[in-house]
Amino acid sequence: MPKKLFISYRRANWSFTQWLSQELGKLIDAEIFIDFSGIDESNFEKSLLRNLRESDAVLLIVTEHTFAPDRIFHPEDWVRREIRESLAMDKPIALALYEGKTPPSDPTKLPDDIVGIQKVQGIDFYSRYFKAGVHELANFLQRVSPIEMLDANMPVASQIDDVPRNTPKSKLDAATSLAEAGDYKRALALLTALQTDGYKSRFFKIADIIQDVQAAQNQEQRRWEAGEAYDEIEMFSRINLKRAHAAWQAFKAEYPEWQDDPAHLVERFQALSNVPFKEKQTAPIEEEIDSLLGASQFKINMIRSNSEPPPPSIEDFSKQVQSILGAPFAWCDVPAGNFLMGTDRTKDDQAHNAEPDIHERYLDGFWMAKYPITYSQFQVFIEANDGIQDDRWWQGLAKSYQSPYEQQWPIADHPRENVDWYQSMAFCRWLSHRLGGGYDVGKIDQWLIRLPTEAEWEKAARGTDGRIYPYGDQVDQYKSNIDESGVGKTTPVTAYPEGASPYGVLDMSGNVWEWCLNNWTYPYQHSEVAKMDISNNLIRVLRGGSWGYYSRRARAAYRYYLQPDGRLDSFGFRVVCRPPSLDGTLDSGGR
């Protein structure tokens, strides 16, 4: 009788569960039971419980939804019942930890009848560690249950050691095994070392192998992202099927290779043409999407996929970014119009010769981050699986990935310092992608998130009246963290509310210098964002002064500059966003 593996999961993770079951089925000698169709309560005993009892092992898909308190504490919750029965029957259990999510470590956050799940081991799955995770999981199941692997010699990344490889052949052998096991990162490191050492073969080019491994890695990343988007559309379809259909069409245009449909969305969309559709009358659509999706790559696209719903408000979009980065985060609206840029030398005797004379400038509207990016927010980027080490955020820049510099004052709500222009740009590209915008170096006008230009920074700092400091014409050491304040280090980004600019932006004078998008020119020259070349290594602009500089340099018009790889414990950055326009598209050119 064939062995059987029972998979328990939440419906919010249709695509990952199906993908994992498909790939795992290629590696283990077992029948996999997984319910994609759904059964009613009367069939729980007859179907799910029967299959659970017949199984030789249980796999629990653990995501952010698995142990949600509003679900797991319900006595009739199916996932809870499946875990409870598995533990009671002493079934071998394995956990598939989606993006490293684990059961709550606090026993009070679990029902008493399933607390035992805390002791169960699991395998991590990430967007760039999926295939490797599947291999690890198959090997783990073979060790803890009667289920066996189809190929006893299947490579498993964790069993391929990291001892120094002294010969080209041993490095190539290890790289091949790692690539076969799905550990593309380690495989690429060995292949790159071979290329650096000048390794050559008579029959192939090492560069071609590197390209093939990178392609496999990117394909896996793309499949992961598509799966997340699919699950989001499925959740959205429970609110408004018509709008979900429009989102589906946009999804299929971006991912034409997508074939899976475990939630039977196509059948439901086809029914739209045959059955009159009655829109669900409940809470506003944006609120329901927030509650179901949270921060979502496709969220903005789905909201604007129909001409009827309005674009997300500045408050909603602030919450969306904060759900990714953490608090504090908010956008400040800087409306379109003219403002006075530069220095009025008749009233400001501290003018520097690099500052242009005061003149009127027009800018389109934009949203400026209320605070500089904090230490804890930048840590999210550093620690994310698709974060600072992801090659996508560095492609096209004049500098490739380099380990982040050590923070001088690693305090959560202090600004991130010791960060250079390249790292700031990589952060913007990552966050733009997370929010559904572009990140192509040649199409910066399509980024949803980026660094502000000098002109944008200055308008956000001083408003339209040409004031010298964000809060007025006279310096006030109690309204900003500058040298005269005597603090001698960075401060929380919320520490000086009385120093706000006319648009409510904080820390535009002092605390840390802030990188701007454009390169340094003398005299100052305006350049359109779409025409800016960000692929070069030219000197870049910083604005705002810092805790260690006198008030002259904390004036709104003061221009500072440095090489883009420069970094000090007084250098930080903040981000800017082009707001959604009234016609439902993004001014920045997002999808």
pLDDT confidence bin for 326, thresholds 50/70/90? very high
Average pLDDT over residues 67-85: 89
C-alpha–C-alpha distance, residues 470 and 385, integer Å: 38
Task: Give strand pairing partners of 270.
Answer: none
Most confident of 297-301, 561-565, 580-584: 561-565
**pLDDT-above-90 percentage for the chain:** 52
Give per-residue burial for 538-550: e unless 16+ CB within 10 Å, then b. Answer: eebbbbbbbbbbe
Q: What per-residue confidence (pLDDT) applies to 193? A: 84
* Backbone angles phi and psi of 153, in degrees to 5: -95, 10
- Has residue 287 got a pLDDT over 50? no
pLDDT confidence bin for 127, thresholds 50/70/90? confident
C-alpha–C-alpha distance, residues 448 and 295, integer Å: 14
Give per-residue burial for 203-218: e unless 16+ CB within 10 Å, then b. Answer: eeebeebbeebeeebe
Contact 47, 37 (CB under 8 A): no
- Has residue 165 got a pLDDT over 90? no
Q: What per-residue confidence (pLDDT) applies to 472? A: 96
Contact 292, 11 (CB under 8 A): no
pLDDT confidence bin for 100, thresholds 50/70/90? confident
Structure tokens at 246: 């429009």
CA-closest candidate to residue 459, choices 366, 533, 551: 366
C-alpha–C-alpha distance, residues 15 and 233, integer Å: 11
User: Of the ranges 125-129, 484-488, 508-512, which one carries the lowest mean pLDDT score?
Assistant: 125-129
Average pLDDT over residues 462-474: 96
C-alpha–C-alpha distance, residues 240 and 155, integer Å: 45
- Mean of the per-residue pLDDT values for the chain? 85
Average pLDDT over residues 145-161: 83
C-alpha–C-alpha distance, residues 368 and 370, integer Å: 6
* Backbone angles phi and psi of 182, in degrees to 5: 90, 5
C-alpha–C-alpha distance, residues 238 and 248, integer Å: 13
- Has residue 36 got a pLDDT over 80? no
* Backbone angles phi and psi of 476, in degrees to 5: -135, 110
Q: What per-residue confidence (pLDDT) applies to 1? A: 67
Task: Give strand pairing partners of 4.
Answer: 31
Label residue 90 exposed, middle or buried (CB < 10 Å: 0-12, 13-18, 19+).
exposed
Q: What per-residue confidence (pLDDT) applies to 580? A: 59
Q: Where are the alpha helices (DSSP H) in 351-502?
A: 375-383, 421-434, 454-462
Average pLDDT over residues 308-323: 80
Higher pLDDT, 189 or 272: 189
Q: What per-residue confidence (pLDDT) applies to 339? A: 96
C-alpha–C-alpha distance, residues 40 and 50, integer Å: 14
Q: If you count them, how many residues does the chain have?
A: 591
CA angle (325, 329, 330) in 5-degree steps: 135
Q: What per-residue confidence (pLDDT) applies to 164? A: 53
Label residue 198 exposed, middle or buried (CB < 10 Å: 0-12, 13-18, 19+).
exposed
pLDDT in tens, 544-577: 999 999 999 999 999 999 999 999 999 999 999 9
pTM to 2 decimal places: 0.52
* Sheet arrangement for strand 366-369: 331-334, 366-369, 576-577, 449-450
Average pLDDT over residues 490-494: 97
Sorted by where each starts, the structural domains of the chain and their CATH numbers stand as 3-144 (3.40.50.450), 159-221 (no CATH), 238-309 (no CATH), 325-577 (3.90.1580.10)
pLDDT in tens, 394-410: 999 999 998 899 999 99
Contact 250, 319 (CB under 8 A): no
C-alpha–C-alpha distance, residues 283 and 353, integer Å: 57
Matching residue, tokens 């971006």: 254
C-alpha–C-alpha distance, residues 462 and 508, integer Å: 9
Cis preceding linkage at 523, omega within 30:
yes
DSSP letter (8 states) at residue 295: S
- Has residue 524 got a pLDDT over 80? yes
pLDDT in tens, 397-453: 999 998 899 999 999 999 999 999 999 999 999 999 988 888 999 889 889 999 999
- Has residue 115 got a pLDDT over 90? yes
pLDDT in tens, 243-264: 888 888 888 888 888 888 888 8
Label residue 103 exposed, middle or buried (CB < 10 Å: 0-12, 13-18, 19+).
buried
- Has residue 4 got a pLDDT over 50? yes
- Has residue 295 got a pLDDT over 80? no
Structure tokens at 337: 């119009």
